[in-house]
């Protein structure tokens, strides 16, 4: 089943993705990690996430070309970090064609993690506003093409679709 998990920061999205991946057919399972270790905090976070997966997934690290990294039985974590990477690599205009190819290549069994965006203050700077618009549009496109959408609230999954 194709599933999109959305929610706020630290709402339990990654934990839920791991739980849903237990329903993947037996065999190799993959984890597409989009994060880059740009500081000590991110290095620690990446390390903690690797430990949570405890060797049960083959990790593929791809910060930009997520469409090329898709495999069957995969968790993709996460769309906001991928979008962030594109913006800071000065490839802001590339998100649409990459997302088109990503959606076209989605395997049957995939869990995609994203963040809900735009539920608070409008950012003061233009790049952050463009990022919010792009991520919101990407989330809408992903939600339209998956079988199930869950919103994580305080660690609890709410089925949206």
So which residues are the catalytic ones?
Answer: 49
* Cβ atoms of residues 9 and 156 within 8 Å: no
Which one, of 82, 80, 100, lies nearest residue 91 by Cα?
82
Cα–Cα distance measured from residue 73 to residue 37, given in angstroms and rounded to the nearest whole number? 25
Q: What is the DSSP string of 72-93?
A: SSEEEE-HHHHHHHHHHTT-GG
């Amino acid at each position: 089943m194709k599933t999109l998990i959305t929610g706020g920061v630290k709402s339990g999205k990654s934990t839920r993705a791991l739980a849903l991946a237990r329903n993947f057919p037996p065999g190799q399972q993959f984890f597409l990690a989009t994060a880059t270790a740009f500081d000590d905090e991110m290095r620690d976070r990446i390390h903690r996430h690797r430990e949570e997966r405890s060797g049960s997934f083959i990790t593929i690290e791809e910060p930009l070309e997520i469409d090329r990294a898709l495999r069957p039985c995969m968790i993709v974590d996460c769309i906001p970090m991928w979008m962030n990477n594109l913006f800071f690599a000065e490839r802001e205009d590339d998100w649409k064609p990459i997302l088109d190819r990503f959606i076209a290549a989605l395997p049957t069994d995939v869990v995609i993690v994203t963040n809900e965006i735009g539920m608070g203050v409008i950012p003061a700077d233009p790049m952050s506003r463009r990022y919010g618009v792009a991520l919101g549009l990407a989330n809408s496109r992903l939600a339209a093409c998956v079988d199930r959408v869950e919103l994580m609230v305080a660690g609890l999954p709410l089925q949206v679709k």
